[in-house]
């Protein structure tokens, strides 16, 4: 999917943000529900699927692979083909902006005797795919032309060989691709992760009946999946996305007088590093009604305006808040004192180089930053001048983070494009306005 004309937007100082609301379903879980539904036999029903461009592209992809995914009433249904049962698509699969859709689908395709061409937008076509293709090639996947960027043509095989693979970088996408491929390999496939990353694939594989074992070894985790087991179609309920809620919660902390509650959020500990950090900064963020639904921990989160202080965020927290650093860096601008964020190497290979884009956006709005290697330091003074134009580089999270900034900065903040917000959180503007956020078109806020 391509976005033709950029759509700039400005946000401006807003009154207290108030309300109780829900955000759309979690993106990571939505992709996985569609893919496991396709690999299971029988029908999978998904409630609360995130209907964003990234996830819709995955729904189209599984449909093109012979496992139709469609919406009936308020539920999505996938008619699974069983592992090994997917069929050759008759045209390239377009993943738009989605690294997760692309990389996980490489693992889904690997154990099938099919040839698939994968394409994506300008941002996705710049992102490294070798990190997933290299281990999958060791298992038997063939890649035409030995490329590691989209467009790519892959040839899977029903003779996939199992393997033990230690992750060289903390990435749930790499882990998940290998585990999904391992489902179709003859024997046991093991991924060793030195640092814990989001574990939705493991949880959902178990929910669908796969044999998955997780063993802790010192600080590392060994995850083993047994190939050849039949998955059965299941009901899945997708909880609210904590990475989308992050923008509203951050806005509530920095806009004076705010008090909001977001209900039904995923609070899996592999995803909550951002909330922990906000609490350490002095943020009034509380988890209410903690419960479990569909194998995942859920809670309502209440956030109130708070006086914040700079903190040091340890590198080992990065996997549990990797998508939230742009938002955290903006919040740090409103805190008093320096906030130091270490271990940000993975931030450079997201939808944009988020380390560079975040620092540039802060500087453009009068916040002093330092970038050194994989470390970002934000020098907060308690208030942000604003007034800048932020380059989003086709990155939804850069756009949303800086629009949140403008709600509390002295002058409006303009982002050069908002079209990409639809890839993960199409309701962003509507929900923000519902709690009292003020936006204006094209920089003229
Ligand atoms: C995701 C994993 C993360 C994250 C992405 C979603 C997933 O990427 O940034 O938005 O659903 O597995 P990496 O695994 O590459 O860190």
Ligand 1 centre to CA of 259 (Å) is 30
How far is 235 from 207, CA to CA, in rounded Å? 9
Q: How far apart are CA 394 and CA 343, in angstroms?
A: 23
Considering the domain architecture, whether residues 165 and 185 belong to the same structural domain is answered as yes
Residues 72, 211 within the same domain? yes
Pocket probe mutation, ligand 1, options 52, 54, 100, 273, max atoms within 8 Å of Cβ: 100
Give nearest CA residue, ligand 1 atom 10: 323
1 inside domain: no
Dist. CA 56 → ligand 1 center (Å): 17
pLDDT > 90: percent of the chain: 96
What residues contact residue 198 under an 8 Å CB cut-off, 6+ apart? 28, 172, 268, 270, 271, 319, 320
**pLDDT tens-digit series, residues 263-313:** 999 999 999 999 999 999 999 999 999 999 888 999 999 999 999 999 999
Distance between Cα 335 and ligand 1 center (Å):
28
Shortest-distance atom of ligand 1 to CA 319: 16
Range of the domain at 314: 9-25+239-441
pLDDT band at 139 (very low <50, low <70, confident <90, very high): very high
Q: Give the number of the atom of ligand 1 that is nearest the alpha carbon of residue 172.
A: 14
Distance 133 CA to ligand 1 centre (A): 16
What CATH number is given to the structural domain containing 32?
3.65.10.10
Answer with the one of 183, 217, 237 that is the final residue of a domain: 237
Q: Write the pLDDT tens digit of every residue in 71-114.
A: 999 999 999 999 999 999 999 999 999 999 999 999 999 999 99
The yes-or-no answer on residue 342 being catalytic is no
Q: What is the pLDDT of residues 391-427, one digit of tens each?
A: 999 999 999 999 999 999 999 999 999 999 999 999 9
Please tell me the chain's helix, strand, coil percentages from 3-state DSSP, rounded to the nearest 5: 35, 30, 40
What CA dihedral angle connects 264, 269, 270 and 272, to 10 degrees?
Answer: 60
Q: How far is CA 389 from CA 9, 294, 352, 357, 368, in A?
A: 10, 42, 17, 12, 16
Ligand 1: which atom is nearest the Cα of residue 322? Answer: 9
Per the structure, the count of domains in the chain is 2
The residue from 237, 257, 273 where one domain ends is 237
Q: Which of 194, 214, 237 is the last residue of a domain?
A: 237
45 pLDDT above the threshold of 50:
yes
333 Cα: distance to centroid of ligand 1 (angstroms) = 25
| DSSP states of 402-426 | HHHHHTTSSB-EEES--GGGGGT-T
CA 123 from chain centre, in angstroms, equals 15
What residues line ligand 1, using a CB cutoff of 6 Å? 28, 100, 171-173, 176, 198, 322-323, 346
Q: Annotated catalytic residue: which of 94, 323, 395, 417?
A: 323
């Amino acid at each position: 999917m391509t976005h033709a004309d950029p759509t700039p937007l400005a946000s401006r100082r807003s009154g207290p943000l108030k309300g109780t609301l829900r955000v759309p379903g979690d993106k990571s879980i939505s992709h996985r529900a569609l893919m496991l539904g396709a690999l299971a036999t029988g029908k999978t029903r998904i409630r609360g699927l995130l209907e964003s461009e990234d996830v819709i592209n995955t729904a189209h992809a599984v449909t093109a692979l012979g496992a139709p995914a469609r919406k009936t009433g308020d539920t999505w249904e996938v008619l699974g083909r069983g592992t090994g049962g997917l069929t050759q698509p008759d045209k390239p699969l377009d993943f738009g902006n989605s690294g997760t859709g692309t990389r996980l689908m490489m693992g889904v395709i690997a154990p099938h005797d099919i040839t698939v061409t994968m394409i994506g937008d300008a941002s996705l076509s710049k992102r490294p795919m070798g990190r997933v293709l290299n281990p999958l090639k060791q298992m038997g996947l063939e890649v035409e032309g030995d490329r590691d960027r989209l467009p790519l043509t892959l040839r899977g095989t029903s003779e996939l060989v199992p393997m033990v693979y230690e992750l060289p970088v903390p990435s749930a996408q790499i882990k998940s691709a290998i585990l999904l491929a391992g489902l179709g390999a003859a024997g046991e496939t093991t991924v060793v992760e030195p640092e814990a990353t989001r574990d939705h694939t493991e949880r959902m594989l178990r929910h669908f009946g796969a044999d998955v074992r997780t063993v802790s070894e010192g600080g590392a985790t060994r995850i083993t999946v047994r190939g050849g087991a039949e998955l059965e179609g299941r009901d899945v309920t997708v909880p609210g996305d904590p990475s989308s809620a992050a923008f509203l919660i951050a806005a509530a902390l920095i806009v004076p007088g705010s008090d909001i509650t977001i209900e039904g959020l995923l609070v899996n500990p592999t995803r909550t590093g951002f909330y922990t950090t906000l609490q350490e900064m002095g943020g009034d963020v509380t988890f209410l009604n903690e419960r479990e639904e569909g194998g995942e921990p859920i809670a309502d989160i209440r956030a109130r305006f708070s006086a914040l202080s700079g903190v040091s965020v340890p590198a080992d927290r990065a996997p549990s808040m990797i998508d939230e650093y742009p938002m955290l860096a903006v919040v740090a601008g409103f805190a008093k004192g320096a906030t130091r964020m270490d271990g940000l190497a993975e931030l450079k290979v997201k939808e944009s180089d988020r380390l560079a884009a975040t620092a540039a956006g802060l500087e453009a709005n009068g916040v002093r930053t330092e970038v050194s290697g994989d470390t970002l330091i934000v020098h907060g003074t308690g208030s942000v001048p604003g007034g800048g134009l932020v380059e989003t580089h086709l990155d939804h999270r850069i756009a949303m983070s800086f629009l949140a900034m403008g709600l509390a900065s002295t002058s409006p903040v303009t982002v050069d494009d908002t079209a990409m917000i639809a890839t993960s959180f199409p309701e962003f503007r509507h929900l923000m306005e519902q709690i009292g956020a003020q936006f204006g078109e094209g920089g003229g806020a």
